[in-house]
Structure 1
Amino acid sequence: MERIYPTFPVSEGFNGLIGVPVSNSVMSDVKMSSDVYEVFVNGDKVGEKVLVTQVEKPEDIKDILNDYGFNNFQFNVEGNSIVIGTDEQSQKMKEILSAYLSIR
């Protein structure tokens, strides 16, 4: 993992920035940029789940599917992919997730 140093100006008369080392434990709790997960249903890509805030997680998609009445599906996070397998109305699930992911 590349070490990132937060920088800040020292004073108005100094034309530069100083980097301050931060431990890995601190950096692992800080969201540096948006995490993006490709979402697949039965092998077909339906969109991308972008985690914008620190409280968002890939598993939020399970809650969306449950809200739409889907209960019988497999859900796995594999690297930067969310893989969903289902025999229950897969086309409808793809349409719902595609619409959800396009507006998020």
Structure 2
Amino acid sequence: MTPLIDVIFLLLLFFMLTSTFSKFGEIELSNATTGAGASGEQDERVFLQLGAERLDLNGQPVLLDTLAEQLEPGQVLISLDDDVTAQRLVDLLVRLRGREGLTVTVLE
């Protein structure tokens, strides 16, 4: 019985020392809210299509690095292709974060 306990403690020690304790990055997502009714001014709406290797802004290909300069304040609708990774979406959302007057909606 004693050798079995020794083996268990050695395995426990091995797994504790080889595991990593890293904090995952967080992105704050807000819940959808109801509309405020019809207003006098229309916000600019743009449509982004995000793929694993492509990014289209209103049907025209753009680069992720130059996307922030091409967007004006308004609403951004993001459509995801089936092959999009979570990291690619996070990269896009990080680029759009902090833009004044920009509302981002990820479509299902």
TM-score, length-scaled by structure 1: 0.24
The structure with the greater share of residues assigned to strand is 1
